[in-house]
Structure 1
């Protein structure tokens, strides 16, 4: 194994040393690394376990803590597994059908991490807690084995995380295996929500009882329910309904609310890698639009693979309505032939970005008023922090849960389509939604959505401000970790 930064260094005994275990996907790693930065700034020492494929994502965090004592990298070889093709070490290199195998393969880090932690036992560098992504549930029995606190980080909201863990705990099935509209309810969650089978996480829908990989994935999430506590990148006013009492679907564990850990208004974006366009260039282009909130920003996330019918319907609607837009299309979105060139010359009202886009900078620009989004949790939080109303178009994973929260409970989004990956809306349907939201100047019902988005921005800012709920959540977490560092031997963080 290799490390960057010193292995041993003199530190005050009360500086807690935390081992952070991310899941190798940008949408999971970036918020966890943001949290690691907050913990380091609060006085903790953090070692982040990465593999060669994910180590580059750690560079900004290491650069922000240049002394090499507050944040260090522990670079380990990616463990091989027969269910995973050689060379696949992170989610961006794996099709969705291999996500389960990726979770199982990563559990091979348990042995090397246990050895690394034991080497530091009884020294000032001893680890007092393991903070692991919920897709690395195997880190919870590792923490128990080592006698240190085990903390689960949820890259989803509290609601989305509870739904996922409920599925693997209760294992609900359809009466008719061919009926994708069969409703699955969640009786232990407020309001007893229910979702059609097709809107549940693909990770669960592909679960097969008795299958080695499937059972390992299920065990992975059940282990999280044995951890000491959950940490969620959310804020209280966003998910108040699900934070009122301990949730049975999260093992009745305490939830530390710490979000949004999204970057502030001065962030340039591109934390997932080099941007295809600079934030300054994109903002200069947006400056050309004098009317606030008149531009639509479009992105379906770093992992979503937009299907041709979805892309065609959206492109046709954008051309019909004539709304100004920025479409962060990634490298794979199947845009119609000539679309990018046509919108660029028609008064320059549209811009297509191929590659990683500076999303935070775009959403915080005064000209952007709507966000067509797949409702991935990081995108939801970035939109909330920016006060941008959302046009919800969920595709898979926790996105339907997030979209329902935004549309039905918070009133901060308007649905584009509930069809997911399989059923694309017609271009007429998308045109109506775009026209009502933007072409109709956001009046009436749409005006209420815009107003609620602005309220959420104020609530998000208040949460992370000194004394706010999330600010206190981080402060309390650091304080509890510091108390562990003062103990002769580590103990579990109370789940009271």
Structure 2
């Protein structure tokens, strides 16, 4: 997809050259880094927007710049790290970006993708869906590495509270009113919300152990289930164990399809979020002041989990990997911790971080001001 989108280069140049009032800048996603070269060709500025966090991008940028290689080619657990990045994170090879791991030196597509990621760092400015109170050290690191201060954090950028499945383009087995009515019957901080985002689909083995762990734990929960989609074998993915919903009736609510995640996380009854640690889910949980049970599966999720667990202590790590099966007994033990004093302290840290997030996007806050600064830059009629 990244390579295919580059075919838009010439049509965009043609449109630009024939437009009576062409743009003075390009703001584009991190996966179309080639638009940096397009902007230079057109004599305008390019701003790279990152839906991922600054910590993750600091690491990913270092990957493509330094191109580390395994000493033992067959060892997927060989550790890779970059001491210059704050906190000096190290990860096993199998947890690195799959796009990076698939790189083949000299292959035209691989070289194009590497150049695109490096071009992000060469762009006029970098814009992050994050905020200083969350990732200040990494925002400053990127400024130092890139040699300029044109690194802005404008987040958290969140969906509206009242956005429903029709607006999001997905169906749901349960209405928003039913979900909120059920939550209203629950005590404060008594419900665990379980959801793995819009992309991940659990195998039936994973689903079986997850359901059994929830059942054994005795906690109240909401489980959002994504069924098998194109590319998944329906018999092997996304199936809820037979009889599970009946056995947990009243204590557990199963949502098939889209779930109003923002509303759920912000409800007083929710005390924890079992999540894949995608950046959008991470920010939504932080804003809600809800601590997390981390099960990173791919891409930047392992790095996000490190931030949440090892640095901020607003989460605990319960599992890792898209194919790993979380044992039901282990899950039940993890869920038992959400009533502990440590979890109460973890929730207090999450609430404080949520307040910092809202302060950042409130008038006069850091993200509010940085967004204003970007607008000033974009309004300038100037070239690269």
TM-score category (smaller protein): over 0.9
Maintained 8 Å contact 2:226/2:238: no
User: What's the CA shift for 1:174?
Assistant: 0.9
Structure 1: which 4+ aligned runs deviate by more than 4 Å? 247-253, 264-271
User: What's the CA shift for 1:453?
Assistant: 0.9
Q: Deviations over 1:452-480 (max 9, x none)?
A: 11111100110000000000111111111
In 1, Cα distance between equivalents of 2:227 and 2:62: 35
Q: Deviations over 1:236-266 (max 9, x none)?
A: 1111221234356667662110000113545
In 2, Cα distance between equivalents of 1:271 and 1:161: 30
Maintained 8 Å contact 1:307/1:421: no
Please name the residue that 1:491 is paired with: 383
SS in 2 for 1:237: helix
Please name the residue that 2:350 is paired with: 453
Please name the residue that 1:235 is paired with: 131
Please name the residue that 1:114 is paired with: 13
Please name the residue that 2:316 is paired with: 414
SS in 2 for 1:328: strand
Maintained 8 Å contact 1:363/1:386: yes
SS in 1 for 2:39: helix
Please name the residue that 1:170 is paired with: 66
Q: Deviations over 1:82-127 (max 9, x none)?
A: xxxxxxxxxxxxxxxxxxxx1111111222222222222xx4x320
Taking only aligned residues, the RMSD between alpha carbons, in angstroms, comes to 1.9
In 1, Cα distance between equivalents of 2:239 and 2:346: 29
Q: Which stretch has the larger CA shift, 263-272 or 162-171?
A: 263-272
CA change 1:263–1:381 in 2 (3 A) is same
Q: Deviations over 1:25-52 (max 9, x none)?
A: xxxxxxxxxxxxxxxxxxxxxxxxxxxx
Maintained 8 Å contact 2:227/2:239: no
254, 261, 264: which one aligns with 1:352: 254
Please name the residue that 2:185 is paired with: 288
Please name the residue that 1:388 is paired with: 290
Maintained 8 Å contact 1:246/1:254: no
Are residues 1:341 and 2:233 paired? no
SS in 2 for 1:238: helix
Are residues 1:371 and 2:270 paired? no
Q: Which stretch has the larger CA shift, 391-400 or 189-198?
A: 189-198
Maintained 8 Å contact 1:375/1:399: yes
Please name the residue that 1:425 is paired with: 326
CA change 1:456–1:286 in 2 (3 A) is same
Are residues 1:204 and 2:100 paired? yes
In 2, Cα distance between equivalents of 1:314 and 1:249: 42
Q: Deviations over 1:306-333 (max 9, x none)?
A: 2333322211100101211111112225
Please name the residue that 2:233 is paired with: none
In 1, Cα distance between equivalents of 2:145 and 2:69: 17
TM superposition score normalised by structure 2: 0.92
CA change 1:481–1:414 in 2 (3 A) is same
SS in 2 for 1:436: helix
Maintained 8 Å contact 1:278/1:358: no
Within 5 Å, give how 1:217-366 maps onto structure 2: 217-247=113-143, 254-268=150-164, 272-276=168-172, 277-289=174-186, 291-332=187-228, 334-343=238-247, 346-366=248-268
Please name the residue that 2:232 is paired with: none
In 2, Cα distance between equivalents of 1:252 and 1:337: 54
More helix by share: 2
Please name the residue that 2:373 is paired with: 476
User: What's the CA shift for 1:226?
Assistant: 1.7
CA change 1:334–1:264 in 2 (3 A) is closer
In 2, Cα distance between equivalents of 1:270 and 1:171: 43
CA change 1:279–1:114 in 2 (3 A) is farther
CA change 1:457–1:269 in 2 (3 A) is farther
Maintained 8 Å contact 1:391/1:414: yes
Count of residues in correspondence between the two structures: 375
CA change 1:207–1:109 in 2 (3 A) is same
Please name the residue that 1:17 is paired with: none
299, 312, 336: which one aligns with 1:435: 336
Structure 1 residue ranges without an equivalent (≥5): 1-101, 485-489
